[in-house]
Structure 1
Amino acid sequence: MHPEFETYLRTGSDLAEETIHRISDLAVQRKLRRNELLFSAGEICRHKVFIVSGLLYTFNISAGGNQHILQFSPENSWTLDVESYDRQVPSQVSIGAVEPSTVLCWQKKDFEMLLAEVPQLKKFAEELIARNIHYSRKRILLSLSATPEEKYEDFVHTFPDYLSRLPLRMIAAYLGISIKTLTRIRHAQLQR
């Protein structure tokens, strides 16, 4: 049993109690230390992952050695590399823990069985996917057209609690700006 996850499902879905227990029972809990990887680029993503506590991030390291952060996944959210998971091909990204974290993992075959047998879970998953697509589209448009100041302002507005949980270098890597630019923006805001 995983009480935090079961509470999450109770409050966010209309799943029956026995179904919630069944879903929870198929999960394997894993604890990650700060900076520990859940999986690395080049590996195949074989699990759906729910973050019980902590904060994970999905990232890629460019050929030049620069880190590009695609997303952060805090407690009560899900993460995986969709392409690697769906196609069972090597991932182009890694997922790691920003801070000590506890996650629940479902093997692909188990989660697919649940989706096939529990229509309400499938509907719940589709709603999560749709929200993620909408957010990703907004993020792409922002990254293509916004100034560094606008990107930072949006980040602060969207994720206010991340500022105390993330080092500046990670925020800069997420925004696609240099640490120098981020420091300048923050300094200018303090001067106002």
Structure 2
Amino acid sequence: MNISSLIMFDEFERYIRQYEPGLTREQMQLIRSKSVLKKVRRRQVLLHEGEVCQHKIFVLRGLLRTYGTANDGSEYVMKFTPEYEWITDPDSYFNRTPSELNIDAIEASDVVLWSHDDFEALRTVIPEINTLSEKLITQNMGVTQKRILLNISANAEEKYQYFIATYPDILRRVPLHMVASYLGVSRETLTRIRQGQAVAAKS
């Protein structure tokens, strides 16, 4: 690894030791040996619809987006992934089936990649990685369930309020049309909500 890559992985090591402080130096060296550090350009695609998802992805810097494409060509955003979060297409990754989603970079990003085979091997030989993986799966299930509940029970304004309360940093970094897509509302509806809130705040 060059100096830049070493610094990037050292940053990842500090992150993972917050959750698994008992990892030995030998275990971290094994994790390091299986990882690929990558600089991603803005709008660069990491997963194309129709491909089998090959990687677990950890974002060190930047912002990724997971989205699908409707029959009419419109995009619907499934997830935003900022710094210190993980992303993959779990169905395609675990079942080795073609993905129905795309993953690209909203901003220039630094990411750490592990291939499917390498990450699954790490889970086998390092119990702490398996524990962390299970925690992440449970966490993602909770987030997904909350989003489904909001989509069923909340109106557009309530969904927007939840988004800005939960993801204030992402709101500042993402174009409005992508936020609208994530919320499942039109850009015009979201604009009206924002304007109404601005007027209410001034009164």
TM-score, scaled to structure 1: 0.97
Aligned match of 2:3: none
RMSD: 1.0
SS at match of 1:16: coil
Could you report, residue by residue, the CA deviation over 1:134-181 in whole angstroms, capped at 9, with x for unpaired residues? 110000110111100000000000001112100001100100000000
Count residues in correspondence: 192
Counterpart position of 2:74:
66
Q: CA separation in 2, counterparts of 1:170 and 1:21?
A: 39
Q: Higher Cα Rg: structure 1 or 2?
A: 2
Provide the rounded CA distance (Å) in 1 between the counterparts of 2:80 and 2:73. 20
- Within 5 Å, give how 1:42-61 maps onto structure 2: 42-61=50-69
Q: Which amino acid aligns with 1:181?
A: T
Shift of 1:32: 1.2
CA contact (8 A) 2:56 2:119 kept: yes
Matched residue, 1:16: 23
2:186 & 2:32 partners in 1: Cα distance?
41
Provide the residue aligned with 1:181 in structure 2. Answer: 189
Q: How far apart in 2 are the matches of 1:152 and 1:182?
A: 8
Q: 1: distance between equivalents of 2:170 and 2:47?
A: 22
- The yes-or-no answer on 1:141 pairing with 2:149 is yes
User: Once the 2 structures are TM-superposed, how far is the Cα of residue 20 of structure 1 from its aligned partner?
Assistant: 2.4
Q: CA offsets, 1:2-50, max 9 Å, x none?
A: 1111110111223424122321231111111111111110011011111
Distance 1:36 1:9, change over 3 A: same
1:3 is aligned with what amino acid?
A: D
Q: Match of 2:14, as an amino acid? A: T
Q: Identity, % of aligned pairs?
A: 41
Normalising by structure 2, report the TM-score: 0.92
Contact 2:82 2:170 in 1 (8 A): no
Does the 8 Å contact 1:15/1:121 carry over to 2?
no
